[in-house]
Amino acid sequence: MRVCCLAKVTGKVQGVYFRASTQEQAIDLSISGYAKNLSDGSVEVLACGERENVDKLTQWLAQGSEHAEVENVEVKEVEWQDFNHFSIG
């Protein structure tokens, strides 16, 4: 089953290779969508793909990249959106 989930990741997640690491994980899991910095210092991630793979990515977000310090991940399911790839915004 294909799903899209929107996640907001807070903590030390900007300037620590978080978005690029998220992109690498997403590509490995055949997930499309994006990761972008928000003005409040958090990162927004839209992940669309097979539910099992989206779940794996959202679990990975809780740990994040090597130098990230993730404090919280809020995830909600959203309407399906077609993307051709996973981009960094």
Active-site annotation holds for 19: yes
Active-site annotation holds for 84: no
* Choice among 19, 51, 53, 72 that is catalytic: 19
CA pair distance 1, 15, nearest whole angstrom: 34
pLDDT of the residue at 17: 96
Query: What domain count does the chain have?
Result: 1
Q: How far is CA 7 from CA 16, 57, 65, in A?
A: 18, 10, 16
In a domain, 85, yes or no: no
pLDDT of the residue at 13: 98
In a domain, 25, yes or no: yes
Residue 60 is part of a domain; what is its CATH number?
3.30.70.100
Closest-CA residue to 62 (of 16, 18, 1): 18
In a domain, 33, yes or no: yes
In a domain, 27, yes or no: yes
In a domain, 19, yes or no: yes
* Choice among 37, 51, 53, 84 that is catalytic: 37
The model's pLDDT over 12-71, given as tens digits with 9 standing for 90+, comes to 999 999 999 999 999 999 999 999 999 999 999 999 999 999 999 999 999 999 999 999
pLDDT of the residue at 87: 98
Question: Which parts of 1-89 fold into alpha helices (H)?
Answer: 18-28, 51-61
Domain limits for position 75? 2-79
In a domain, 64, yes or no: yes
